[in-house]
Chain A
């Protein structure tokens, strides 16, 4: 088995007649953080959905941990170890915080203690979630929802975490908290992370590698350590 946790080759995706991803090749080394950067509408979110299986791919194959998952429905990919924190967070609005976390247990396959069997480290990471555990998801602030979305993904015990714009629309002091939590997830859980993010300062502190996208293709890839953020800023600026 190679040391790549995720190995994508020739992936294409379309919305109806219009192609949005062309021939994507992407290698995610185990235990590393890869940042996908690029302007709005270049296909970053679509790529995450194609990996999760919530958006069908037209062509290409996705090897996850050595097995081809490209024909699997999303719930089987989740069970295989793909965790998803989507853009807009997608918290179940009428479920409580606790219930939102419990849905995440579906992926872990751990049915021994499904009622409130939430791993303690999630509450250690986000103590706030325990305090508001009985509140409906739809009434949380953006920052609380983001913490819940990350906690819900972690409840499934993933080996790969897909994070779509975790700092989007969140007030600055909460961004710091989320960043600290993600650093913790990266370092103590050894999680492999594919991150979509526009906030380059955060990307340069957090990620190991980057892939810059434009018009549905990956144009440039590299190690964060080798490139100053200014080298890729033109992929984001309008």
Chain B
């Protein structure tokens, strides 16, 4: 095997993993907390992509991309907040209905984007410092992919800080571990749900900006990332952030390295087979939580 090709794909794997991570963190957060699956999560990516495109229409160039990140985050978070407060909160006792209702929202948002922006994708022109590439030990690395990895690392680090070091993080962990008791200690669990849902949608919006750097933004761009994101969440252990990160890394690397030997669609199939086998061996996911409190 060609060492350069291997290194290239290894690096690609990390950037794919970064995208998977950004796309799935929101799903993992809200599933961990509310046990609901938001089928419209992919459309938060799509929304982020279009918001990035619109931001760059107003402010072209490097400043535009930097500005697009907060715009997409806030825009997607607001949309997530709207979906959560009007729909998911009211259906929280009925998980299957939530699944169907959010799928409906997903279709509405896709059609809405088609009507607004057209069925053909829009192209975000990355600024020069992102469209170049860096040569390292014989491997050519596109700058955009380095940028994506850096953003993912930054998001993960900030999220970890927020969850482990802040007051709101403490409340989130408490609700996550024992919802009844959290409410009884005086925590407004519905407000925590809302905050986390907005945060998760915002991170997905951010992922959308990264997608826009790699290819055209289309009304159904979210659909191609939502399946791997679900795989990551399932494999990560349903709601664990460490597990989600590990699973995103494993699946990103797996799909990129598989593409050395087979074409893209076979690699996708192998990815599914890999996850199915993994879940057979380890149904609890990468990270399983075990303490004696659970057997009370």
Contact = CB atoms under 8 A, between A and B. Distances in A.
Given A99-B170, A103-B174, A93 B184 contact: no
B289 interface: yes
A92 B186 CA distance: 14
Given A86-B184, A90-B181, A95 B294 contact: no
A92 B190 CA distance: 18
Interface in A130-154: 136-139, 145, 152-153
Contacts of B177: 92-95
A94 B291 contact: yes
B182 interface: yes
A136 B294 CA distance: 13
B171 interface: yes
A102 B170 contact: yes
Interface stretch (A73-81, A182-190, A210-218, A227-235): A73-81
Interface string A13-53: 00000000000000000000000000000000000000011
Interface string A61-80: 00000000000011100110
Contacts of B113: none
B213 to A, nearest CB: 36
A107 interface: yes
Contact of B294 (A74, A103, A138): A138
Nearest to A94: B177
Nearest to A91: B293
Contacts of B188: 73, 75
B293 A93 contact: yes
A103 B292 contact: no
Given A54-B180, A95-B177, A103-B170, A75 B186 contact: yes
Given A92-B174, A137-B293, A138-B293, A104 B186 contact: yes
A153 B247 CA distance: 38
A166 interface: no
A176 interface: no
Interface size class of B (residues with CB under 8 A): 20 to 34
B296 to A, nearest CB: 5
A59 interface: no
B40 interface: no
A145 B293 contact: yes
Contacts of B296: 88-90
A106 B186 contact: yes
A78 B182 CA distance: 10
Interface in A72-128: 73-75, 78-79, 84, 86, 88-95, 99, 102-108, 114-115
A93 B182 contact: no
A179 B292 CA distance: 24
Interface residues of A, number: 36
A163 B81 CA distance: 37
Interface of A: 52-54, 73-75, 78-79, 84, 86, 88-95, 99, 102-108, 114-115, 136-139, 145, 152-153, 156
Contacts of A84: 181, 184-185
A90 B170 contact: no
Contacts of B167: 114-115
B184 A52 contact: yes
7 contacts: A54-B180, A78-B186, A86-B184, A90-B296, A93-B289, A114-B167, A152-B185
A95 B170 contact: yes
A102 B177 CA distance: 15
A21 B136 CA distance: 72
B237 to A, nearest CB: 13
B96 interface: no
A145 B178 CA distance: 15
Given A52-B184, A75-B187, A99-B170, 20 more contacts: A73-B183, A73-B188, A74-B183, A75-B183, A78-B185, A78-B186, A79-B186, A84-B181, A90-B181, A92-B181, A94-B291, A103-B185, A106-B171, A106-B186, A106-B187, A107-B185, A114-B167, A136-B291, A138-B294, A156-B186
B293 to A, nearest CB: 4
A152 B187 CA distance: 13
B85 to A, nearest CB: 16
A86 B188 CA distance: 18
Nearest to A104: B185
Residue of A137, A138, A139 most packed against chain B (CB within 10 A): A138
A37 to B, nearest CB: 23
